[in-house]
């Protein structure tokens, strides 16, 4: 009986000292890895001024040192493959429930790295949020918001942090995925009394002079993107379409543009359009109007036999 107690105390003493040694060794390893990470980042920042190279180097070094630290600590605290299997078997059920969102975010991170639905620098829309991707981490990615209360999809200045799991659950639209151009339209409404033939000729001339170069650049990129995606447009050159509306004749200039140049291109086109319309009195811009026709007693209709209302 006494011998059993002594043996238990001895085992507890040895186990206690063993845990203290493991803890001190773990702290030492973590400190060494942190210092090593800072030294490696310092070396890279001193040898290059390229922000993109520095950014990706920091990410790679951070992920590598973290993974190596976890691997070493597991080797210290978990002895033997049998213990690892037992530990994982006990912990897996609890981890799956308690860390559901965390696991989903990690899965989303692997999906982003593998499938590359977007990369840093791309403008994307995920769900109802649009922005330019500026950072990609293990659990979330960040982007500078565009649109919202600001028109023409320009930046609001806010940074939006989106969990990586949203990539697996929501629709993601990429403005730059292999093809850096989108279709844009400018609508010009003129009155029914305007010379619509002349209007169309003016708009076609403006579109050809001001936008033709963008179409040529888009065509080059389209051929490159076709190697990866089944993208096909029969016509990339600017086009002018016409239709009737309640308040006049609507002309639409449809053309391809880089998303970040959308507002600037619209302003440049409108300046030229307004300047050209001033030269032609028979072209007037339209706006919503209401017309009234009155029936007078002095001019009754010939087929009316009764008294005028």
Q: What is the pLDDT of residues 152-190, one digit of tens each?
A: 778 888 999 999 989 988 888 888 766 778 888 999 999
Q: What tokens does 186 get?
A: 């400018």
79 pLDDT above the threshold of 90: no
Residue 227 has pLDDT above 60, yes or no: no
Residues of CATH 3.30.70.100 domain(s) within the chain?
Answer: 182-278
Q: Which has more pLDDT, 60 or 294? A: 60
Q: What per-residue confidence (pLDDT) applies to 9?
A: 47
The model's confidence at residue 271, banded by pLDDT at 50, 70 and 90, is very high
Mean pLDDT of the 245-250 span: 88
As a whole number of angstroms, the distance between CA 191 and CA 250 comes to: 9
Q: Residue 254: pLDDT above 70?
A: yes
Mean local confidence (pLDDT), 254-278: 88
Phi, psi (rounded to 5 degrees) for 119:
-130, 170
Q: Which residues contact 185 (CB under 8 A, 6 or more apart)?
A: 252, 253, 254, 255
- Which tens digits make up the pLDDT trace of 19-74? 677 778 888 888 888 888 888 888 888 877 777 777 777 777 877 788 788 777 77
Give the model's pLDDT for residue 298. 52
3-class DSSP assignment, residue 15: helix
Please state, in angstroms and rounded to a whole number, the distance separating the CA atoms of residues 102 and 165.
9
* Domain made up of 118-174: CATH architecture: Roll (2.30)
Q: Please tell me whether the overall predicted TM-score, pTM, comes out greater than 0.75 for this model.
A: no
Kindly provide the b/e burial profile for residues 26-46, where b requires at least 16 CB atoms within 10 angstroms of the residue's own CB: eeeeeeebeeebeebbeebee
Residue 136 vs residues 110, 147, 159, 205, 293: alpha-carbon distances, Å: 11, 21, 13, 44, 64
What is the CATH topology of the domain spanning 182-278? Alpha-Beta Plaits (3.30.70)
Q: Is the pLDDT of residue 10 over 80?
A: no
pLDDT confidence of 138, banded at 50, 70, 90? confident
Is the pLDDT confidence value at 269 over 60?
yes
DSSP string, 185-250: EEEEEE-TTS-HHHHHHHHHHHHHHHHHHHHHHHHHHHHHHTTTS----S--S-EEEEEEETTEEE
Q: Where in the chain is the domain with CATH 2.30.30.60?
A: 118-174
Cα separation of 124 and 243, whole Å? 32
Contact assessment for residue 128 and residue 178, using Cβ atoms and an 8 Å cutoff = no
């Amino acid at each position: 009986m006494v011998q059993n107690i002594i043996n238990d105390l001895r085992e507890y003493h040895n186990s206690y000292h063993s845990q203290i040694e493991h803890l001190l060794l773990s702290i030492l390893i973590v400190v060494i890895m942190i210092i090593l990470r800072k030294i490696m980042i310092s070396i890279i920042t001193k040898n290059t001024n390229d922000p993109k190279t520095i950014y990706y180097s920091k990410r790679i070094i951070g992920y590598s040192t973290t993974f190596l630290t976890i691997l070493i600590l597991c080797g210290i605290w978990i002895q033997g493959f049998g213990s690892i299997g037992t530990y994982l078997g006990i912990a897996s059920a609890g981890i799956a429930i308690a860390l559901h969102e965390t696991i989903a975010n990690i899965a989303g991170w692997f999906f982003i790295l593998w499938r590359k639905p977007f990369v840093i620098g791309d403008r994307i829309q995920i769900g109802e949020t649009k922005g330019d991707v500026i950072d990609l981490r293990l659990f979330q990615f960040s982007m500078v918001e565009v649109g919202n209360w600001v028109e023409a999809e320009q930046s609001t200045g806010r940074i939006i942090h989106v969990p990586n799991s949203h990539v697996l659950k929501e629709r993601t639209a990429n403005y730059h995925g292999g093809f850096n151009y989108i279709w844009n339209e400018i609508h010009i409404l003129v009155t029914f009394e305007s010379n619509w033939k002349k209007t169309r000729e003016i708009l076609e001339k403006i579109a050809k002079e001001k936008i033709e170069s963008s179409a040529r650049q888009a065509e080059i990129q389209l051929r490159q993107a076709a190697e990866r995606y089944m993208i096909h447009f029969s016509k990339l050159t600017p086009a002018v379409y016409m239709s009737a509306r309640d308040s006049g004749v609507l002309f639409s200039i449809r053309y391809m543009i880089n998303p970040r140049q959308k507002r600037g291109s619209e302003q440049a086109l409108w300046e030229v359009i307004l300047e050209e319309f001033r030269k032609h009195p028979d072209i007037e811009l339209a706006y919503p109007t209401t017309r009234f026709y009155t029936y007078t007693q002095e001019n009754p209709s010939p087929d009316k036999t009764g008294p005028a209302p």
